[in-house]
């Protein structure tokens, strides 16, 4: 073996943090963006986030939807659901494309 032929092994992959770390890595198989959109649209704007691993964001969306439902006659919950549906879809698209997302990324602000 010659001196210049050694190639060091590649670095280990980043640790999977799921919903408990600062970064959520893509899963295999990836989460379906349409499913995340529908879950957030129909179930208080946050269940899709829970499926993605953005747990605190999902719980906050659900609590917000519940709190604003009565004073706004349901309009606030619809807005939270619509916001969560679009954002959840974009987050799932990033994961499906193989890009990690942060716990608090919104829309196109992926880190």
Confidence of residue 17 (pLDDT cuts 50, 70, 90): very low
Asked whether residue 3 is domain-assigned, the answer is: no
Q: What is the pLDDT of residues 56-72, one digit of tens each?
A: 999 999 999 999 988 99
Task: Assess if residue 1 is contained within a domain.
Answer: no
Q: How many domains does the chain have?
A: 1
CA 54-46-18 angle, 5° bins: 20
Model pTM score:
0.74
pLDDT at 83: 93
Residues β-bridged to residue 102:
23
For helices 75-96 and 55-69, the axis angle rounded to 10 degrees is 160
Whole-number pLDDT of residue 25: 87
Is residue 105 domain-resident?
no
- The candidate with the shortest Cα–Cα distance to 104, out of 57, 45, 53, is 57
pLDDT in tens, 71-108: 998 898 999 999 999 999 999 999 999 889 988 888 87
7 found inside a domain: no
Mean pLDDT of the chain: 84
Phi, psi of 68 (to 5 degrees): -90, -5
List the one residue out of 85, 51, 37 whose CA is nearest residue 65.
85
Q: Is residue 79 part of a domain?
A: yes
């Amino acid at each position: 073996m010659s001196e210049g032929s050694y190639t060091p092994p590649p670095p280990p992959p980043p640790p999977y943090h799921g919903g408990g770390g600062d970064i959520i890595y893509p899963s295999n198989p990836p989460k379906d963006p349409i499913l995340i959109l529908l879950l957030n649209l129909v179930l208080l704007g946050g269940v899709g986030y829970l499926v993605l691993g953005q747990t605190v964001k999902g719980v906050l969306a659900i609590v917000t939807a519940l709190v604003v439902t009565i004073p706004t006659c349901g309009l606030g919950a619809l807005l939270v659901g619509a916001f969560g549906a679009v954002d959840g879809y974009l987050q799932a698209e990033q994961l499906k494309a193989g890009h990690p997302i942060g716990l608090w990324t919104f829309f196109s602000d992926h880190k």
